Amino acid sequence: MEQHYWLMKSEPDVFSIDDLVRLNSAPWDGIRNYQVRNLLRDHFQIGDLAFFYHSSCKEPAIVGIMQIITTAYPDSSALDPSSPYFDPKSTSEKLPWLRVDVQLVHKLTRPITLATLRQHSEPLTDLPLLKRGNRLSITPVTPEQWHYILALVES
C-alpha cells in the first residue's frame, strides 16, 4: 500500500511537540471519536508521516513532523479511571478505542501557523484543517498538500 500523510492535533497544554522531543516516541491516545477511530483502524500504516499540530492555543500551528511506528492497537487509557481519557462505557471486552505510536522525525525550526496556511488557501482549498466546522483531531493530507506545506517550511 502507498504512503499516507496525516495532520494530528494536540493541545500543547496536554501534549506538546516538546514533550515528543523529550520522549522521542509516544502513544497517540485519547481518541474518542468514531470517525477518527476508523481512520486509525482502516488507513494508518507503519511509515506514514504526519504533521504535529498545536490546537486550542495562542498560536495554532504545525510544529513538527512525525512518523507512525505501529498499526492501531487498543487504547487502554479508556479503561483507566485515573486517566483523563477514561471512558466509563468501555470494558476490556468491549474497547472500541484505538491508538498508534508515533516517533518524532523533527521539530520545525519555525512553526507554520494556521494564519500562514490560510494565506495559501488557494492551493490548500481542500485541506480539512481549513474547512469550516472541522473538528476532527486527525485528518488526511494529500501528497500534494503535504509537499506544498513542506515547501512553506523551507521558504
Report the interface residues with DNA, using CB under 7 A.
Answer: 9, 11, 32-35, 55-57, 60, 89, 114-115, 118, 132-137
CB 7, min distance to DNA, A:
10
Nearer to DNA, 81 or 154 (CB): 81
CB 137, min distance to DNA, A:
5
Nearer to DNA, 24 or 58 (CB): 58
Query: Quick one: how far is CA 112 from the chain centroid?
Result: 15
Nearer to DNA, 24 or 137 (CB): 137
Instruction: Quickly list H helices, the chain.
Output: 17-23, 34-43, 114-119, 143-154
CB 58, min distance to DNA, A:
8
User: In the chain, at which residue ranges do the beta strands (DSSP E only) sit?
Assistant: 5-10, 25-28, 49-54, 61-68, 73-74, 98-113, 138-141
* Dist. CA 28–CA 59, nearest whole Å: 22
Nearer to DNA, 137 or 145 (CB): 137
